[in-house]
Structure 1
Amino acid sequence: MHSLELLLDPASDGAVRDEWRVLSAAGLPSQGDHVGTSNAPHVTLVARPDLDPAADPRLLPLSEALPMPAELGGLLLLGSPPRGLVLVRPVVVTGELLDLHARVHESLGGAGDVPHTTPGRWTPHVTLASRLTPDQVARALDALSEAGVPSTRPVVLSRLRRWDPGARTIVPLGPVAADAEADERDGAGR
């Protein structure tokens, strides 16, 4: 699926990656197990079979709403067996976040969104682990608790990007200053 995603600022990104490491250290599946350059803690705004790159210029101005403070809530499970359970940190929904989500969808138009990304049904979250069994969920909760992971966590949503799985490319969509800083920090681009 193609997606449009909100990335976290460096401190928030690091805090979520610490939670990934706790799960990995406990011998559990974790998003940290994915070593691809596109793997980063994020909140999916839109997921659909195709996102036309021609929409990028319309999306870029929407990044002016960033950075945006947010809060990750307590642990939540999505999915169902047999595919596996997904352990996430939901994003506490605010009017500002819902407005950004609605403006993104208005800008894109069209249909075909994955249901949990459509306006009115959107479930904003940051994924910690996928394809967990019920036993692994219990172990994950224990590991995170023992590591002192807080039940809620303030974060900053700082950048917008588009993921194109066909081309396996990340397209930064702003804010422009944050993209330049990220490229410099990551060694000149993705």
Structure 2
Amino acid sequence: MHSLELLLDPTSDEAVRDEWSVLSAAGLPSQGDHAGTSNAPHVTLVARPGLDPAADPRLLPLSAALPLPAELGGLLLFGAPPRGLVLVRPVVVTGELLDLHARVHESLGGAGDVPHTTPGRWTPHVTLASRLTPDQVARAVDALADADAPSTRPVLLSQLRRWDPSTGTVVPLGPAPEGAGVSDVAGR
């Protein structure tokens, strides 16, 4: 699936990666097991079979809302056995975050979104681990508790990016680093 994602600021990113490492050290599945350079803690705004790069100039100004303060909540599970469970930290929803999400969808138009990313059904979260068994979930919760992982955590949602799995590329959509032009941010 193609997606638009919000990345975390470096401090928040490191804190989530620390939780990934705790899970890996406990011999459990972890998002940290994915070695791809595009793998980073993120919040998915939109996921659909395709995203037209021609929409990038319309999306770029929306990044002016960033950085956006947020809070990661306690552990939450998605899915059901036997396919596997997904361990996440939900993002506490704010009016500002919902507004950004709605404006992104309005800017894109079209249809075909994965249901849990559509306005009114969106469940913002940061994934810690996928394809867990119920036993592994219990072990993951224990490992994170033993590591004194906080139950909630303030974070900053700092950048917007587009993931294109067909080309394996990440396109930054802002906000622009100081001194960079629009074409630098959009990767053109």
TM-score by length of 1: 0.93
Q: Is residue 157 from structure 1 mapped to residue 157 from structure 2 by the alignment? A: yes
Q: Is residue 86 from structure 1 mapped to residue 116 from structure 2 by the alignment? A: no
Give the alignment of 1:64-83 within 5 angstroms: 64-83=64-83
Give the alignment of 1:120-135 within 5 angstroms: 120-135=120-135
Which residue pairs with 2:45 in the alignment? 45
Q: Give aligned pairs, total.
A: 181
Which residue pairs with 2:101 in the alignment? 101
Letter in 2 for 1:154: P
CA distance in 2, matches of 1:82, 1:54: 39
Which residue pairs with 1:24 in the alignment? 24
CA distance in 2, matches of 1:60, 1:44: 16
Work out the percentage of aligned pairs sharing the same amino acid. 87
- 1:81 deviation in Å? 1.3
Which residue pairs with 1:8 in the alignment? 8
CA distance in 1, matches of 2:35, 2:138: 25
- 1:171 deviation in Å? 0.2
Which residue pairs with 1:175 in the alignment? 175
- Residue by residue over 1:131-184, the C-alpha shift from the partner in whole angstroms, topping out at 9 and shown as x without a partner, is 00000000000000000000000000000000000000000000011796xxxx
> Are residues 178 and 121 of structure 1, via their aligned partners in 2, closer, same or farther at CA, if it must alter by over 3 Å?
farther
Give the alignment of 1:49-68 within 5 angstroms: 49-68=49-68
RMSD over aligned Cα, in angstroms?
A: 1.2
CA distance in 2, matches of 1:97, 1:79: 24
**Which ranges of 4 or more aligned residues in structure 1 deviate by more than 3 Å?**
none
